[in-house]
Chains A and B, each alone.
Chain A
Amino acid sequence: MIDVSAKPILELRNVHKSFGDKRVLRGVDLAVAPGQSLVIIGGSGTGKSVTVKCALGLMTPEQGDIHFDGEPVSNRNMLDTIRRRTGMLFQGGALFDSLTVWENVSFALIYRDRVSRGEAKKRAIENLAKVRLPASAADLSPGELSGGMQKRVALARAIIAAPNLIFFDEPTTGLDPITVDAVNNLIVEQVKALGAAAVTITHDMASVRKIADEVAMLHEGRIIWRGPVTALDNSGNAHVDQFVNGRAEGPIQPAI
């Protein structure tokens, strides 16, 4: 059971972020308990990826506080600590083209933790097995892999250093329904095996139902609803209802 009363591993308080005149985040408040799987849903361009990038220090918010494991993220050392204790699976995989699959998976071990290349390759192959990829894939380059395999390699890279918190940015975008289910199963399995918390961004409602303990809806730069995944169909919120049921009519204007 997840102890939601426990100190959050990640907490965003009143986070604001703009790009020129466009105010993307207008006071995001979000907390994730250790071991909890939170899925953020919301229309395109509502700031879901920006929220995650602010949490990881890839973007600097103009206003608001971010706390990791109870400590405010206020300097480079704390940012480094966050990055050492988190994993991230990017939307397109973001695998390094110039490196082989095993070098991608064990990148943090080789370049950050100074593990020998022999040991790093061994651990990379172990982690590839965890995401159902054969050892023969280790020496391939990312360009030789299918989209689903690339996502698995990115997942193996995200979990290799046993992080306490993993971010997934649209992990199943562009995959066929069967591969989507397979990737979702792997995400649930590996996050549970690590006992890590997870923050996932997705538009795919099948993924939400499979991955989430809790769901938060981001709209116009604010979290407008949050609840357990079991309450998703009876949220009592017109925005959530429209999004969950995929209707063009409703309070949310389609982004076209």
Chain B
Amino acid sequence: MTSQFVPLALRPFQLIGRTVLGGLREIGRIATFSGRVLAACVTPVIYPREVLRQCIKIGYYSLPVVGLTAVFIGAALALNIYTGGSRFNAEQFVPNIVVLGITRELGPVLAGLMLAGRVSAGIAAEIGAMRVTEQIDALLTLSTKPERYLYAPRVIAGIATLPLLVLVADIIGVLGGWLVAVGALDFNGSLYLRNSWSFVTGNDIWSGLIKAAFFGGIISLMGCYHGDRSQGGAGGVGRAATLAVVGAAVLILAGNYILTSIFVRIGL
């Protein structure tokens, strides 16, 4: 309405202003929503049956995709490090760098990104469908808050299961590197494993698991938030799933940098 009164030369500034204000509004909405859901995660009433159901859906059913990702990444990493290391006669460091790369960085980030696609989209689509078919209104009329019955169990399950998945990914990723090293690069199998085990520290593993817990929360929260806001039928549900995946992926990558800088600073 007001745009017709804005001089042409000022239109770009109007567009920038609108975009910035829209972005700030969205951040505010996400923060408020996250605060409400996280409060519901740590205060009664919590529904253990729902939490367990979500742990199975988010954690157990994601094992194949996380395992496959980890084995191929471990294998490719070993090949790359061998090729790069051979320029400095440092091929013997393949097991050390593979285990470090997997546990500190690639395990949590790639498992997080894979789950952003599988879980975040799934949650957004499920909750979006519940929103447009009035199931969430029905929950409210039955005196049950969606943040307690729907969102908190998913966020708890995300935070609890992603570290376990990453632990599995760490093991399978190292195994992927071992397979390539032994099968194609003429490494001694037991020596490779001994080198990996003696090089990796508790801090390496813990830093990856802490990241995973954060990423699990981000994935579930993004799915719940965008699902909750979806409207307008099937198109709206599809849009919610897309936004959830994009939002979760961007936040995982940005969060990974922030967490890594904190860990480096505190020596973790």
Contact of A90 with B149 in the complex, beta carbons under 8 Å: no
Contact of A96 with B47 in the complex, beta carbons under 8 Å: no
Contact of A80 with B141 in the complex, beta carbons under 8 Å: no
Give per-residue flags for B90-134: 1 if the beta carbon is below 8 A from chain A beta carbons, else 0.
000000000000000000000000000000000000000110011
Cα(A84)–Cα(B144), bound, Å: 10
Which one, A83, A87, A91, A92, contacts B140 given CB within 8 A?
A83
Give chain A residues whose Cβ lies under 8 Å from the Cβ of B149. 111
Give chain A residues whose Cβ lies under 8 Å from the Cβ of B129. 97
CB distance from B231 to the nearest CB of A (A): 11
Give chain B residues whose Cβ lies under 8 Å from the Cβ of A90. 134, 137-138
Is A112 at the interface (CB under 8 A from chain B)? yes
Is B143 at the interface (CB under 8 A from chain A)? yes
Is A184 at the interface (CB under 8 A from chain B)? no
Is B19 at the interface (CB under 8 A from chain A)? no
Number of interface residues of B (CB under 8 A): 16
Contact of B144 with A58 in the complex, beta carbons under 8 Å: no
User: Could you say which interface size class chain A belongs to?
Assistant: 20 to 34
Contact of A112 with B141 in the complex, beta carbons under 8 Å: no
Is A207 at the interface (CB under 8 A from chain B)? no
Is A200 at the interface (CB under 8 A from chain B)? no
CB distance from A116 to the nearest CB of B (A): 13
Cα(A44)–Cα(B47), bound, Å: 39
Contact of B138 with A94 in the complex, beta carbons under 8 Å: yes
Is A46 at the interface (CB under 8 A from chain B)? no
CB distance from A81 to the nearest CB of B (A): 10
Given A90-B138, A94-B138, A96-B138, CB of A112 within 8 Å of CB of B133: no
Cα(A218)–Cα(B126), bound, Å: 34
Give chain A residues whose Cβ lies under 8 Å from the Cβ of B130. 96-97
Contact of B133 with A83 in the complex, beta carbons under 8 Å: no
Contact of B135 with A94 in the complex, beta carbons under 8 Å: yes
Give per-residue flags for B23-67: 1 if the beta carbon is below 8 A from chain A beta carbons, else 0.
000000000000000000000000100000100000000000000
Give chain A residues whose Cβ lies under 8 Å from the Cβ of B143. 80, 83-84, 108, 112
Is A56 at the interface (CB under 8 A from chain B)? yes
Is A88 at the interface (CB under 8 A from chain B)? yes
Interface residues of A in 76-108 (CB under 8 A from B): 80, 83-84, 86-88, 90-92, 94-98, 107-108
Is A53 at the interface (CB under 8 A from chain B)? yes
- Most-contacted residue by chain A among B129, B137, B140, B142 (CB, 10 A): B142
Given A111-B47, A111-B149, CB of A58 within 8 Å of CB of B142: no
CB distance from B182 to the nearest CB of A (A): 45
Contact of A94 with B144 in the complex, beta carbons under 8 Å: no
Give per-residue flags for B133-172: 1 if the beta carbon is below 8 A from chain A beta carbons, else 0.
1110111111110000100000000000000000000000
Cα(A36)–Cα(B135), bound, Å: 27
Nearest B-chain residue to A117, judged by Cβ? B49
Contact of A111 with B138 in the complex, beta carbons under 8 Å: no
Give chain B residues whose Cβ lies under 8 Å from the Cβ of A92. 133-134
Contact of A94 with B137 in the complex, beta carbons under 8 Å: yes
- Most-contacted residue by chain A among B53, B135, B138, B139 (CB, 10 A): B138
Which one, A53, A83, A91, A98, contacts B142 given CB within 8 A?
A83
- Most-contacted residue by chain A among B53, B130, B134 (CB, 10 A): B134
Contact of A94 with B47 in the complex, beta carbons under 8 Å: no
- Most-contacted residue by chain B among A87, A90, A94 (CB, 10 A): A94
Cα(A85)–Cα(B167), bound, Å: 49
Contact of A53 with B137 in the complex, beta carbons under 8 Å: yes
Contact of B137 with A58 in the complex, beta carbons under 8 Å: yes
Cα(A191)–Cα(B79), bound, Å: 73
Give chain B residues whose Cβ lies under 8 Å from the Cβ of A157. 142
CB distance from B103 to the nearest CB of A (A): 35
Cα(A80)–Cα(B47), bound, Å: 19
Cα(A123)–Cα(B138), bound, Å: 20
Contact of B134 with A112 in the complex, beta carbons under 8 Å: no
Contact of A94 with B133 in the complex, beta carbons under 8 Å: yes
Give chain B residues whose Cβ lies under 8 Å from the Cβ of A53. 137
Please name 7 pairs of A and B residues whose Cβ atoms are closer than 8 Å in the assembled complex, sorted by A.
A57-B140, A83-B140, A83-B141, A90-B137, A94-B134, A96-B138, A111-B47
Please name the 5 residue pairs, one residue from A and one from B, whose CB atoms are nearest each other, closest first: A94-B138, A94-B134, A88-B141, A112-B143, A108-B142
